[in-house]
Amino acid sequence: MVKLGFGLLLTLGLIFNPLCLAAADLKIGVVDSADILEKSAEGKKVQDVLKRKGEELGRTLQKQEQDIGKAMEDFRKQSGVMKEEAKKQRQEELTKRANEFQQKVADADKQMNLLKQKEMEPLLKKLETAVAEVAKENKLEIVLDRRGSGLLYMAPAMDITEKVRSRFR
């Protein structure tokens, strides 16, 4: 029994020792991709395009929201003197308008997400290429994104953001 336990320990040691040694030589870099994208000229152009489209959609939706709000307020004021049938019909009309408005808001959100995806795709590909070049040049096996990784601490020497930024331009 002791021989079996010792043999098992020896086998496990032989299996896991190379893995531990490989992990000790593992080179990792960290990049702040959001910072690179936000501060680049192309990233600022994308932000402007998204802002303009959001404002355009927002103006239209805000006007409709105000119209519906006014119609609901008018209904509240008049509901006391309205016949039951007219009141019910007006409530249904207002509910229909509110539902259509909610659908337009959802459509606007979808439009904005599609636009953002379309506008960001070339930038993300360019960033990916820059990260790959820097990783290859610095012989890094893994590159983590600083904001998306849940990273709480890193040695400053691991930060390759500026190297990637210089390749990104």
Q: What is the pLDDT of residues 69-95, one digit of tens each?
A: 999 998 888 888 888 898 889 999 999
pLDDT at position 22: 47
- For the stretch 25-53, pLDDT in tens is 889 999 999 999 999 999 999 999 999 99
pLDDT at position 9: 45
Q: Which residue shows structure tokens 């927002």? A: 58
Are 123 and 42 spatial neighbours (Cβ–Cβ below 8 Å)? yes
Q: What are phi and psi of 114, to 5 degrees?
A: -65, -40
pTM over 0.75: no
- Copy the structure tokens of residue 161: 């953001």
Angle between helices 84-137 and 161-168 (to 10 degrees): 100
- Residues 50-71 have a mean pLDDT of 92
pLDDT at position 25: 80
How many residues are there in the chain?
Answer: 169
Which are the contacts of 135, defined by CB distance < 8 A and separation ≥ 6?
29, 143, 160
- For the stretch 127-158, pLDDT in tens is 999 999 999 999 999 999 988 766 777 788 88
pLDDT band at 122, cuts 50/70/90?
very high
Per-residue CA distances from 143 to 48, 65, 75, 122, 139 (Å):
29, 46, 60, 20, 11
> Domains of the chain: which residue ranges?
25-168
The dotted CATH code for 25-168 is 3.30.910.20
